[in-house]
Amino acid sequence: MYNIEIIRRGRRITALTSAWQKAVLANGGSTTTTGITILNQFTQQLVNKSYYGKIIYLLPMMGVGIGAATVPLIDTKHAGNASNTNFVNSDFSENTGLQGDGSSKILTVALMPSQFGAGNNGGLGWWENNINFGGSETEVMGFSFEGDAQRFVIDLRSGRKFFCWGDPANAANVNSAATNGHYYGQRTAATNRELYQNGSQITTNSTNDAATGSSDANMQLVGANDDGTLAFWAGRCAVTYFTDGTLSTGEATDLDSLLRTYLVSASGKI
């Protein structure tokens, strides 16, 4: 299902890991031996999962420097590296993640929601490692033009956990405090939006929703595009990804376990 390269000292590395490492070096970042081992173990498992082909973009938050943090491991739409606004090397560590400042730092990915999945469906994944409600924004990723049913975000607050893909009135919403951990929201159909926390589905919304105008803006990370204005998140990203919105409940649970085992726990991010 994937190619294996044989490199020095007999270590076997997947094509995904090898391509990521080369892209990191080309982008001015670097890698660690421990990080490559962790990432390689992750990719060896991932490529055999039923949901592998459903992930369209994934930033593993591994390596050294912003030149590593912005390089995707998976990029099926050829969006390229995330564009960096104001992050510096000291904001990132593969042992903690990418730290936002809540005022000026954000990443941009050249992907629009209409590119995620069929029928304007899609999914957003975010692993928060240092929750902080003191910044200028509560949306950890996405973009929002609220007046036209164009809100595509994960929103974490001291009193709410919220996933929206379309009209804010039809979000998958839980009125309880957000905490550190893995959040995944997806729209699988016009009448189904789901929100997961740490691999467990915590709420759904079945209201019919057109999710109109989903090609208007690129996605933001460590904050969001809010009505054309950048808004910034003060927390820390351990890993983030986009999907086509078709993960089953079992696949969402398994993906949480895989991320937790390799990209989060093994790297020391929790």
Contact 236, 128 (CB under 8 A): yes
**Residues 205-214 pLDDT 10s:** 999 988 876 6
Taking the C-alpha atoms of residue 235 and residue 128, their distance in angstroms, rounded to an integer, is 7
What domains are defined for the chain? 4-266 (2.60.120.200)
Cα angle 135, 138, 144; round to 5: 125
pLDDT digits (tens, 9 = 90+) for 155-204: 999 999 999 999 999 999 999 999 999 999 999 999 999 999 999 999 99
Token pair listed for 140: 């950890």
d(CA 204, CA 220): 24
- Phi and psi at 10, nearest 5°, equal 75, 5
The pLDDT score that the predictor gives to residue 11 is 56
- What ranges make up the beta strands (E) of 133-228? 139-145, 150-157, 160-166, 172-174, 181-189, 192-197, 200-205, 219-221, 223-226
What's the rounded Cα separation, in Å, for the pair 237 and 269?
A: 10
The confidence score (pLDDT) of residue 6 equals 34
**Below-50 pLDDT ranges, the chain:** 1-10
Nearest to 144 by CA among 224, 240, 245, 235: 224
Of 2, 144, 176, 8, nearest to 73 by C-alpha is 2
What pTM was estimated for this model as a whole? 0.94
- Write down the pLDDT at residue 227: 82
| Helix ranges restricted to H, the chain | 15-26, 33-46, 66-69, 249-258
Q: What is the pLDDT of residues 112-123, one digit of tens each?
A: 998 999 988 999
pLDDT at 12: 80
User: Encoding tokens for residue 214?
Assistant: 């989903």
